[in-house]
Amino acid sequence: MTTDAGDLAAKLESTEAKEKIEAVIAEVREKEREEERARRSERMTQWITDRVNNQLATELNLDEVQKSKMVEIMTDASTRIGEMWSDMRNQRDNPNAMADARTKMNDIRKEAEDQIAQSLTVDQFEKFQDGGGMMGGWGRGRSNNNNGGNRRNR
């Protein structure tokens, strides 16, 4: 009986140690994911700032207030889209998750473009849309082949 109790105690200690180790590993991995999200967010913010200050400011003749507002709006939309995709990864077993995420992403972009439209003149906003809008040339408007910028058809 003593041997069985000793074996049980050893297994219990082993199980508890294993659970503690797994918890520490999970914590480290989550911290690494958070750090990567922060780095990604910093890169995206820098890209948006550079795009607004170097490209859009010239193309649209933006004043300082407009540049600041566009950076703010586009950064907020980018952050919200990133968070939405991150949350979607936790819903891999949901068959509607991808479609829901795309719908939500389009809603965020539309909301951001509506805010940008309020910050620009009509002419500036038309040029912004012609230049790809929130998609920055990856979406509609930048194509010379009449397919609306759909890269798959090139």
Q: What share of the chain is helix, strand, coil (3-state, %, to 5)?
A: 80, 0, 20
Asked whether the predicted pLDDT for residue 2 surpasses 70, the reply is no
Give the model's confidence band at 12: pLDDT under 50 very low, under 70 low, under 90 confident, else very high.
low
Mean pLDDT of the chain: 82
Residue 146 covered by a domain: no
The yes-or-no verdict on residue 33 having pLDDT over 70 is: yes
Sign of the four-CA dihedral 42, 43, 48, 51: positive
Better-predicted residue by pLDDT, 58 or 149: 58
Q: Which domain holds residue 104?
A: 2-134
| Integer Cα distance of 79 and 41 in angstroms | 7
Higher pLDDT, 70 or 9: 70
Instruction: Say if 127 falls within a structural domain.
Output: yes
Q: Is residue 111 part of a domain?
A: yes
Is residue 66 in a domain?
yes
The model's pLDDT over 55-95, given as tens digits with 9 standing for 90+, comes to 999 999 999 999 999 999 999 999 999 888 888 877 878 88
- Amino acid letter, residue 71: V
In a domain, 100, yes or no: yes
Q: What's the structural domain count of the chain?
A: 1
